Structure 1
């Protein structure tokens, strides 16, 4: 009876290790990422195995081999000594059971139920990893040594989300998503299109451009800014195909005598440039606008950094949209501020020293510092100033409470 029990345990372990390996290879990585963002207890462990697949591969391979050897040894003794079967018959039975219950059946079953089983198989696998750690260490070093002798460098296995992974998941969940998560699905869909999108697909065409001649009087330039509500305008010399620079509305506070006094450098890009590359270039050069040229060198249109971000994230409210009062005093050293206020204006109004960068508004400053879109009531301290998000959507910060007391006074 002892040999039978040990044989069944070994076969069950072989079933587990074979199936676990297949399940973790087959699990939908996008779904695992969603689990992790929802802080489900098993998600972190599953994500760790996917990030470092060599951990579960070594563990399942070592465990499966130990289980198969143990099953073959004890089952053979049981069939030969206890049941008195001939060596040939015993070997055929052992081989058949190992093939069916140690390979074919578990791999087929776990593959079809990979997403469901992943949450249950990960913790035992972690325990087996620690149990087999000395053997895994020895085997991995021997493998690396052999690879080195063959002229191959040991490389860490990588797992990644494929475009197809994400598309399939979106198709599967689109109809069942609650309203609050539909925007996330739309964002992912736009991100999938982003890779192959070209500048010509989103640019403002030449016929719709608003540009000003280099010799336009400053007084008229101010009227153009007021009429159209833009923050930047391209400047041309004699004809639109000869763009010489860009003028920014905030440079008018320098009281220039002529446009050339405040002319900024312009970035020219071809129509065929990828929008992802353009966004990176604009950020690196701290520019907000690029002029698009056609194959003949003429002006085809323009594109702004807002155009790029709006295509990815949806419509973004800018500082010229109709909004409420920019700054409202709530109490002693406490203010409610519209997140679309320009950093320069905010610094002057509240005597702050917030840095300027590749952003212009308070919202841009907070996004740059936090690295994500904050939720309502999220708190951020910066050099003795506390920022509390009082109104925000899933896509933008709308209003912020600024407390000018030192951060330590809030504790």
Structure 2
């Protein structure tokens, strides 16, 4: 009976490990833009996703703490069962078996699924993850303290220009990727990419000099004006009267 209970406990611990892995992958891979749009529409799980991601160090600390605890406990229980069944060699058997089970069913499989359906999974795991973050806060505070002091050594506000550039490049990369996948039309992608370049443009870059403009003398006969308009490549043509400058 004790062995059966231990087996059930190991299975539950592997399920918990899978939950932590799938939660971390889904929450970090979820579309922030879509989550914010859903939150604006009143979606409560999306609001929880954004709340969790607003403090990523708490989420990561909870995942690491929970994952470490359940994996170590599962390994300990498996070793205990193996030693009772096979003696001192049971530790090697338990290590091999529990490693295979954790890698396949608690890591690779859930992470792969979470990457494929990140937004959907994030909405499901956000409520329990938020509850776990609250419960484990006293323990993760210590982890957060250490992480914050280590992050002091990494780029901060002094690199805001680089961070803005990185954000622009990320948006540009997303547009290019969607265009390649056919989700966004090529013309729309070029237009959206052009918006990112507006800050670098001057009026001289886009203006047409008046000597090169296609214009029409308003005093010309209507038939000639109509003919010029029909042959023009533009849908709007400036008119002038008496002299081209007018």
Q: The residue matched to 1:97 in structure 2 has which SS? A: helix
Map 1:293-304; keep pairs closer than 5 Å: none
Return closer, same or farther for 1:169/1:49 CA change in 2, 3 Å cut-off. Answer: farther
Runs of 4+ in 1 over 4 A off after TM superposition: 82-85, 153-156, 158-161, 166-175
Change (3 A) 1:67 1:37: same
Distance 1:114 1:172 in 2: 21
Is 1:53 the counterpart of 2:56? The answer is: yes
Contiguous gaps of at least 5 residues in structure 2: 158-162, 215-237, 239-244
Q: CA deviation at 1:154?
A: 8.7
Gap change, CA 1:155 and 1:123, over 3 Å in 2? farther
Match for residue 13 of structure 1 among 10, 16, 33: 16
Question: 1:125 deviation in Å?
Answer: 0.8
> Offset of 1:137 from its aligned partner?
0.1
- 2:196 is aligned to 195
Q: Distance in 2 between matches of 1:203 and 1:138?
A: 59
CA distance in 2, matches of 1:19, 1:121: 8
Contact 2:175 2:192 in 1 (8 A): no
| Residues 79 and 94 in structure 2, CA contact (< 8 A), matched pair in contact too | yes
Distance 2:45 2:182 in 1: 22
Which has more strand, going by share of residues? 1
Give the distance between the partners of 1:80 and 1:94, measured in 2 at CA: 14
CA distance, structure 1, for counterparts of residue 182 and residue 33 of structure 2: 12
Work out the CA distance in 2 between the residues paired with 1:65 and 1:92.
Answer: 18
Give 1:164 deviation, angstroms: 2.3
Query: What pairs up with 1:139-288 in 2 under 5 angstroms?
Result: 139-145=143-149, 147=150, 152=153, 162-168=171-177, 190-197=191-198, 198-199=201-202, 200-207=204-211, 208=213
Matches of 2:156 and 2:136 in 1, distance apart? 22
State whether structure 2 residue 131 is matched by structure 1 residue 122.
no
Shift of 1:189: 6.6
The whole-number CA distance in structure 2 between the counterparts of 1:50 and 1:164 is 22
Q: Quick check: 2:75–2:94 contact (8 Å CA) kept in 1?
A: no
Larger helix fraction of residues: 2
CA distance in 1, matches of 2:178, 2:52: 21
- Cα distance in 1 for partners of 2:182, 2:138 equals 42
C-alpha deviations, 1:50-100, integer Å up to 9, x for none? Answer: 343223222211111111112112222233336767222122112221222
Which residues of structure 1 form unaligned runs of 5+? 176-184, 210-227, 229-239, 241-411
* Root-mean-square deviation (Å): 3.5
The match for 1:74 among 70, 74, 77 is: 77
Task: Report if aligned partners of 2:82, 2:94 keep a CA contact under 8 Å in 1.
Answer: yes
CA distance in 1 between counterparts of 2:86 and 2:155 reads 48
SS across alignment from 2:44: coil
Matched residue, 1:32: 35
Instruction: Quickly say closer, same or farther: Cα 1:42–1:169, change in 2 above 3 A.
Output: farther
Q: Distance in 1 between matches of 2:47 and 2:176?
A: 23
CA distance in 1, matches of 2:123, 2:69: 24
Q: 1:289: which partner in 2?
A: none
Structure 1-normalised TM-score? 0.41
Aligned to 1:162, the other structure's residue is in SS state: helix
8 Å contact from structure 2 (residues 21, 111) kept in 1: yes
Alignment partner for residue 113 of structure 1, among 114, 117, 123? 117
**Shift in alpha-carbon separation, 1:44–1:190, aligned structure 2, 3 A:** farther
Equivalent pair of 1:28/1:115 in contact (CA under 8 Å): yes
More relative contact order, 1 or 2 (CA 8 Å, 6+ apart): 2
Number of corresponding residues: 198
